[in-house]
Amino acid sequence: MSEELSGTETTETDWYAQDVATFGDRLQAAREHVSMSQALLAKRIGVKKITYCAWEQDQSEPRANKLQMLSGLLGVSMRWLLTGEGQDLGAPDVKPEAQSKLEILAEIRDVRMQLKVASDQLARLEKVLRLEDS
C-alpha cells in the first residue's frame, strides 16, 4: 500500500519520515505509543509541562541531555526522534482509542490551559506592539 506525497512514493513504514512528520509529531507518537501523559513525561525528564508541550508543538526543541532522556524513556533512538530514520513505531492507529470520561475531561482541561497560556502570550505581544507604536 503506497500513496503519492510531494512526488515521492511513501509506504506504511514512512509515517514518521522527515519529509512527512516533524520532531513534535514523532515525539507525540512515541509518547502515546508508551501510553504516557505529557505531564508525566515532563515530570520524569525534569521539565515543566508547558516546556514539554512546546516540544510536541514544534515551538522549541530539547537540549541534547533531555533528548537523550526522552529517547530512553520512550524506547526510540535519538536519530529516529530527530529525523525519522531507523526503526519506527509503525503506522499510527486509525481508530481512536477508547477513553474514559475522566481521561477525556482531563485532556479537555489540558487543552484549555494551553489555550489560556497562548491567549495570555498573544495579549502580551499585542501590548508590546501597541507600546512601540505610541
Among the CATH numbers 1.10.260.40, 3.40.50.150, 3.10.450.50, 3.40.50.1000, which is that of 2-91? 1.10.260.40
> Does residue 13 have a pLDDT over 50?
no
For the segment 6-31, the average pLDDT, to the nearest whole number, is 67
Q: What are the residue ranges spanned by the domains of the chain? A: 2-91, 98-134
C-alpha cell at 74: 520512550
pTM for this model (two decimals): 0.56
The rounded distance, in Å, linking the Cα atoms of 110 and 74 is 21
> What are the backbone angles phi and psi of residue 9, rounded to the nearest 5°?
-85, 135
The rounded distance, in Å, linking the Cα atoms of 104 and 115 is 16
- Between residues 4 and 31, the one the model is more confident about: 31
**Per mean pLDDT, which range of 58-67, 73-82, 97-106, 112-121 is the poorest?**
97-106
For the segment 84-91, the average pLDDT, to the nearest whole number, is 68
